[in-house]
Structure 1
Amino acid sequence: MKYAQLIELPDLRLSKVTFYSIRLEENTRSEFADFLVRMKSQQQTVGQLGELVRVIQNIGTKYGAQKHFFRHENAASALPPPHFHYVDIEDYGVRLYCIRLSDSVVVLLNGDRKTTQKAQNCPLCAKHFTLANRLARKIDEAIRDGYIRLIYKELEQDEDFEIIL
């Protein structure tokens, strides 16, 4: 059995949105921190990562996490927005999987460069897509059961709450 913790990203507590991530029990970094480290280390994704970070900053400071900024990916979501196109790329671009809980709370997860039309068929994205959807269902269930409470820009959770995967 695997466990995961929902953690706030203090550097991404912005005026309109508070961003969170997930830390899996076997990792020292959050899923979002892992995504940033991996994308920064790949020459072909550095520019796309910069554009994606600007999208996150704009959502957090200007617009809020409105639904149209997120790609629908089954139970989860993804960035960049569906209307966004990276400049000069040969594939589908970098995808960051996330869970939009409200206009003011988003859980940023992990992702990679999408090389196939369907994420579940992509050798780079499939595992991130699958985990994001599993986590989205578990978090929705925890909210329904009262283990996680959504209070404006905050996620309040029982002190010892962990997500069982």
Structure 2
Amino acid sequence: MKAKLHYLNSISGPKASFYSINYQELVDGPTKQLFNDFLEEYQSGYENELMNMIGRLKNMGNTNAAKEEYFRLDEGLDWNDLVCALFDIPEKFLRLYCIRISEQIVILGNGGPKPKYIRAWQDDPRLTKEVNEMMEYSRIIRTKLENMDFRITSDGLHLEGKNLRLI
């Protein structure tokens, strides 16, 4: 499998940059993107929640930055894995998992519905898969940042490195 970070120009702005993960499961297979997979899968049945999420992300990118209060932090199993969820609105069920590098850089992943009767993501096979995937990508990204394979630009808004390749 190949994977690399992809800058999301449509929701990024002068206050925060958003990336997603492009991946290719087979050598000759199509390139897909985690955040697009999320949008496509839940566009039917969760349209209002998706529109609300996109609006909040655009607001972060252009006005407020990706402040801690907009995310449910520490969603992963390790205290420093940076995996979080876009804070859900009461009475809404859709959960989007992310890697929050800083107040200015967030990597959007995938997610799914988390009904209120489910206490933790570990209680749902779909959410467990998505969080575990984000924890693995987070481990790779943190290692690349530590090894200086990836760098945060001087303005704090972008990641740079050799093609932003993860795998």
1:126-141 equivalences under 5 Å are 126-141=128-143
Aligned partner letter, 1:122: D
Consecutive unaligned residues in structure 2, runs of 5 or more: none
Give the partner amino acid of 1:77.
Answer: C
Q: TM-score, normalised by structure 1?
A: 0.85
The SS at the match of 2:126 is coil
**How far is the alpha carbon of 1:124 from its aligned partner?**
2.8
Point out where structure 1 has 5 or more consecutive residues left out of the alignment: none
Determine what percentage of the aligned residue pairs are the same residue.
Answer: 29
Preserved contact between residue 11 and residue 54 of structure 2 (Cα < 8 Å): no
Shift of 1:111: 0.7
Which residue in the other structure is 2:21 paired with?
22
Q: 1:48 is matched with which residue?
A: 49
TM-score, normalization by structure 2: 0.84
Q: Does 1:85 align with 2:90?
A: yes
| Mapping for residues 8-157 of structure 1, pairs under 5 Å | 8-26=7-25, 27-41=30-44, 43=45, 45-72=46-73, 73-74=75-76, 75=81, 76-80=83-87, 84-86=89-91, 89=92, 93-115=93-115, 116-151=118-153, 152-157=156-161
Q: Single out whichever of 29-38 and 115-124 deviates more from structure 2.
A: 115-124
SS in 1 for 2:125: coil
Moved more, 66-75 or 98-107: 66-75
Q: CA RMSD in A?
A: 1.6
Letter in 2 for 1:80: F
Count of equivalent residues: 153
One-letter identity of the residue aligned with 2:66? A
In 1, Cα distance between equivalents of 2:51 and 2:87: 11
- Letter aligned with residue 37 of structure 2: D
Q: Does the 8 Å CA contact 2:12/2:62 hold for their aligned counterparts?
A: no
Task: Report deviation, 1:65.
Answer: 0.9
Report the Cα offset of residue 28 of structure 1: 2.1
Residue 13 of structure 1 deviates from its aligned partner by: 2.5
Structure 2: distance between partners of 1:60 and 1:85: 23
- 2:63 and 2:165 mapped to 1: Cα distance? 32
In 2, the alpha carbon distance for the partners of 1:95 and 1:37 equals 14
Give the Cα–Cα distance (whole angstroms) in 1 for the partners of residues 122 and 13 of structure 2.
32
Residue identity in the other structure for 2:107: V
CA distance in 2, matches of 1:148, 1:37: 29
